[in-house]
């Protein structure tokens, strides 16, 4: 069995030392989603939600979350992020009354450790913000699944999820 990297010789959690790792361009793309009802869908599309621009606020929340990932995920390294982009797509099936927002969060850095957690945190924060802004209209929203779609850079190489 390989040595666990996040534990010290006393068996206590530690942040991994990445000081000897090579700096490379690292990119991660994460995806999440939130299913909303027809009324919430209409409010988001028409910009009539009482709390404001739902996707605009979720965009800002996602950026802030990515930048602050190390403050909420204990073993994450604080990283100098060089780019964060969040996009939304709708999956709509009116016949089955299904309205789903697909959230794509892409995070970049040039550094010694990856940005997977930052991308996952950004996508999650966007979904949670949408929920928060729309919960007065309907609490039956469903968040997820949330997953890593792609990552590049680093010694472990590239990864891409095939759906």
pLDDT at res. 2 = 55
Q: Could you tell me which residue, 157 or 105, shows the higher pLDDT?
A: 105
Between CA 119 and CA 97 the distance in angstroms is 30
Query: Hey, which residues are catalytic here?
Result: 132
Structure tokens that stand for 159 in this block? 């990864």
The backbone torsions φ and ψ at residue 77, rounded to the nearest 5 degrees and listed phi first, read -80, 140
1 has pLDDT over 50: no
| % of the chain with per-residue pLDDT over 90 | 78
| CB of 130 closer than 8 Å to CB of 53 | no
pLDDT at res. 13 = 84
Please state which of the ranges 20-29, 43-52, 123-132 shows the lowest mean pLDDT. Answer: 20-29
Across the range 135-144, mean pLDDT stands at 97
Residue 7, CA atoms < 13 Å, CB-side half-sphere:
7
The pTM (predicted TM-score) of the whole model is: 0.91
Greatest Cα pair distance in the chain: 59
5 has pLDDT over 80: no
Tell me the average pLDDT of the chain. 93
Nearest by Cα to 155 from 22, 60, 4, 43: 22
pLDDT band of residue 3 (cuts 50, 70, 90) is: low
pLDDT at res. 41 = 97
Between CA 77 and CA 71 the distance in angstroms is 9
* Residue pLDDT, tens place only, 67-100: 999 999 999 999 999 999 999 999 999 888 999 9
């Amino acid at each position: 069995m390989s040595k666990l990297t996040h534990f010290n010789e006393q068996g206590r959690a530690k942040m991994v030392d990445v000081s000897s790792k090579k700096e490379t361009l690292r990119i991660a793309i994460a995806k999440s989603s939130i299913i909303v009802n027809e009324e919430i869908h209409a409010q988001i599309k028409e910009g009539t939600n009482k709390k404001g621009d739902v996707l605009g606020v979720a965009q800002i929340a996602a950026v802030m979350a990515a930048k602050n990932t190390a403050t909420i995920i204990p073993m994450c390294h604080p990283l100098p992020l060089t780019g964060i982009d969040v996009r939304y797509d709708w999956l709509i099936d009116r016949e089955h009354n299904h309205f789903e927002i697909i959230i794509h969060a892409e995070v970049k850095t040039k550094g010694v450790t990856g940005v997977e957690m930052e991308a996952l945190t950004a996508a999650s924060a966007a979904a949670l913000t949408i929920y928060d802004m729309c919960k007065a209209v309907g609490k039956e929203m469903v968040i997820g699944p949330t997953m890593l779609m792609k990552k590049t850079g680093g010694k472990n190489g590239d990864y891409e999820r095939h759906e």
